[in-house]
């Protein structure tokens, strides 16, 4: 095992952890907490303005944090990152495009895959080669339970996370012989604003609203949402090696539900519920945004 969960401060500082998408959400907090633990953290943020805001937050917390502009879809940014000596990579950068498969414009669909799949994979390729030379390293993908199962109106986002699940699984098998560890973190519905923003993304669509199948002004994320604290702690555990599971679902109380949903597909009939609105579609109309669990 590539054990970087160390108590010795001098040894701990040797481990360099790169976190993409650290300007907001899970990546933001995980970067700050790891820096507070004494790790050498490079926090990659999408836009230049986030460099200043995250650096100021690090100062307020009294931690040393290296903040770099790293848009995973930008070749120049990726090539810059390829020069860094990274021991652990957290592919956390991601966006969420909400909407029915029948309605999402092509441009938005392409952007979903560029940010969530293509950019992170190319960045991983660049950093992986250095890890192979060192015969050790750890690559963690911030996936989602949406990479295991799928809800209505999240098909684009979910498909990008299904792709990440396939990529992580293949990579894990391919790089074992080189001493590289691969893991996923799979958050469920957490109240960070990310899920609710997904259901506002239609506002930027360039399309004909009269041709949409659904009224997105009256649709919200169809799940109650949890406090994100467990994701912070689990992600840190996976990155540092304290947790060595390949797949890490949070909150843990939904693991059995995910397994049941996966199993149910084997019994599903194409005629089940035909001609009726599905329960989750109806819930998307009924629920208020940001409803806590």
Q: Which residues are catalytic?
A: 157
What is the signed CA dihedral for 235, 145, 163, 180, rounded to 10 degrees?
Answer: 30
**14: nearest Cα among 5, 24, 26:** 5
3-state SS string over the chain? CCCCCCCCHHHHCCCEEEECCCCCHHHHHHHHHHHHCCCEEEEEECCHHHHHHHHHHHHHHCCCCEEEECCCCCHHHHHHHCCCCCCEEEECCCCCCCCCCCCCCHHHHHHHHHHHHHHHHHHHHHHHHHHHHHCCEEEEEECCHHHCCCCCCCHHHHHHHHHHHHHHHHHHHHHHHHCEEEEEEEECCECCCHHHHHCCHHHHCCCCHHHCCCCHHHCCCCCCEECCHHHHHHHHHHHHCCCCCCEEEECHHHHHHHHHHHHHCCCCCCCCCCCCCCHHHHHHHHCCCCCEC
Dihedral sign of CA atoms 19, 23, 27, 30 in order:
positive
State the Cα–Cα distance between residues 21 and 44, nearest whole angstrom. Answer: 6
């Amino acid at each position: 095992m590539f054990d970087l969960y160390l108590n010795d401060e001098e040894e701990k500082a040797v481990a360099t952890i790169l976190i993409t998408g650290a300007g907001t959400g899970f990546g933001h907090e995980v970067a700050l907490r790891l820096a507070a633990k004494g790790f050498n953290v490079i926090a990659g943020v999408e836009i230049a303005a986030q460099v200043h805001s995250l650096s100021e937050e690090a100062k307020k917390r009294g931690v040393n944090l290296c903040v770099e502009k790293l848009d995973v879809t930008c070749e120049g940014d990726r090539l810059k990152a390829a020069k860094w000596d990274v021991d652990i990579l957290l592919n956390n950068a991601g966006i969420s495009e909400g909407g029915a498969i029948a309605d999402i414009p092509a441009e938005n669909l392409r952007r979903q895959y560029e940010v969530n799949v293509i950019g992170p994979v190319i960045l991983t390729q660049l950093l992986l080669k250095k890890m192979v030379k060192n015969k050790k390293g750890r690559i963690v993908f911030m996936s989602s339970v949406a990479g295991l199962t799928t809800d209505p109106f999240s098909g684009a986002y979910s498909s990008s996370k299904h792709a990440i699940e396939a990529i992580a699984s293949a990579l894990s098998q391919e790089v074992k012989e080189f001493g590289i560890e691969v893991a996923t973190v799979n958050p469920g519905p957490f109240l960070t604003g990310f899920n609710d923003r997904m259901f506002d993304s239609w506002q930027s669509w360039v399309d004909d609203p009269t041709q949409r199948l659904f009224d997105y002004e009256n649709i919200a994320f169809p799940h109650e949402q949890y406090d994100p604290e467990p994701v912070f702690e689990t992600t840190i555990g996976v990155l540092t090696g304290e947790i060595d599971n390949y797949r890490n679902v949070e909150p843990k109380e939904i693991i059995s539900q995910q397994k049941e949903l996966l199993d149910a597909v084997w019994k599903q009939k194409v005629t089940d519920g035909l001609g009726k609105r599905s329960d989750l579609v109806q819930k998307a109309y009924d629920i208020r945004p940001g409803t806590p669990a």
